């Protein structure tokens, strides 16, 4: 006698699982890992403004392929193309992640009862990833679309966007949400796929990274505000002496 004879067909199908669900898990983990690594690089590249305008200018030229131009000036088209790629990855990541999003009021109530009744750190982490993911669903595309439509970046041009165009309002909300979401996501990927079994140690690392990344992000944002306050219109791109 097999399990198929003990259970009805519908039960057996639910027990064995849906093959698409396993594929979606892999896609979600892969895209999440890619976006998390991108965020780590992005915030560190952005924080080069803390070393001065010249440092940030040189970083931008390197990332935009300035070494391949006769003038040494990078190609903003590189930023545009890469932004389109990141947007596509974000859309794919969100599409497969939405299947786990509580869509009904009863599901939210059940989640709340679970959170109150069971003091499980990973469940609380998943909840905050859920909340930040909902926030990013609205904020992240705005930032990426801005980089697609206006890919010019640099000490003055970025400061113009932050200060004169009031983009700091968006970034002030986007920064903590994306850092928390990404770091918890990397934690869950590491645990889910067996990269480590030391949950306690990894949680400490993730908490440190959240504080560290938000700190350098806030300091970078403040630097752009100071630079933007000194700009005069029309804003001219920064050129090193």
User: Per-residue confidence at 204, pLDDT binned at 50, 70, 90?
Assistant: very high
Enumerate the known binding-site residues: 42, 93, 143, 181
The residue range of the domain holding 148 is 21-229
- Structurally, the chain folds into a number of domains equal to 1
Residue 34's nearest CA partner among 78, 85, 97, 79 is 85
Enumerate the known binding-site residues for heme b: 42, 93, 143, 181
Share of the chain above pLDDT 90, in %: 61
For range 218-225, the mean pLDDT: 97
For range 186-207, the mean pLDDT: 90
The pLDDT score that the predictor gives to residue 178 is 97
Tokens of 112: 């709340």
Taking 90 as the threshold, does the pLDDT of residue 9 lie above it? no
The CATH number covering residue 114 comes to: 1.20.1300.10
Least confident stretch, 11-25, 92-106, 143-157, 220-234: 11-25
Taking 60 as the threshold, does the pLDDT of residue 12 lie above it? no
Taking 70 as the threshold, does the pLDDT of residue 127 lie above it? yes
Within a domain: 117: yes
Residue 36's nearest CA partner among 100, 91, 88, 90 is 90
Within a domain: 27: yes
Within a domain: 4: no
User: Per-residue confidence at 8, pLDDT binned at 50, 70, 90?
Assistant: very low
User: Per-residue confidence at 116, pLDDT binned at 50, 70, 90?
Assistant: low
For range 153-172, the mean pLDDT: 94
Within a domain: 162: yes
Provide Rg for the chain, Cα atoms: 22
Within a domain: 238: no
Least confident stretch, 9-23, 66-80, 164-178: 9-23
Within a domain: 8: no
Least confident stretch, 62-76, 125-139, 218-232: 62-76
Taking 60 as the threshold, does the pLDDT of residue 16 lie above it? no
Q: How many residues does the chain have?
A: 241
pLDDT digits (tens, 9 = 90+) for 40-71: 999 999 999 999 999 999 999 999 988 777 66
Q: What are phi and psi of 37, to 5 degrees?
A: -65, -40
Within a domain: 15: no
pLDDT digits (tens, 9 = 90+) for 71-114: 667 889 999 999 999 999 999 999 998 876 665 555 556 666 66
- Spatial contact of 181 and 134, defined as CB atoms under 8 Å apart: no
Within a domain: 14: no
């Amino acid at each position: 006698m097999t399990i198929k004879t003990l259970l009805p067909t519908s039960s057996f199908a639910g027990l064995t699982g849906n093959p698409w669900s396993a594929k979606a898990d892999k896609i979600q983990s892969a895209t999440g890992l890619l976006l998390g690594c991108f965020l780590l690089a992005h915030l560190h590249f952005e924080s080069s403004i803390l070393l001065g305008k010249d440092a940030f200018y040189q970083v931008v030229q390197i990332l935009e392929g300035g070494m391949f131009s006769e003038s040494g000036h990078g190609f903003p088209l590189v930023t545009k193309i890469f932004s389109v790629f990141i947007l596509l990855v974000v859309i794919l990541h969100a599409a497969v992640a939405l299947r786990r999003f509580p869509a009904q009021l009863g599901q939210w109530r059940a989640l709340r009862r679970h959170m109150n009744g069971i003091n499980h750190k990973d469940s609380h982490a998943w909840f905050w990833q859920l909340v930040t993911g909902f926030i990013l669903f609205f904020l992240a595309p705005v930032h990426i679309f801005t980089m697609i439509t206006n890919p010019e970046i640099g000490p003055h041009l970025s400061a113009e966007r932050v200060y004169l165009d009031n983009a700091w309002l968006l970034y002030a909300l986007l920064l903590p949400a994306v850092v928390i979401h990404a770091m918890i996501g990397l934690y869950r990927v590491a645990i889910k796929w067996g990269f480590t079994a030391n949950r306690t140690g990894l949680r400490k690392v993730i908490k440190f990274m959240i504080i560290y990344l938000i700190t350098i992000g806030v300091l970078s944002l403040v630097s752009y505000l100071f630079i933007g306050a000194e700009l005069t219109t029309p804003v001219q791109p920064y050129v090193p002496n």
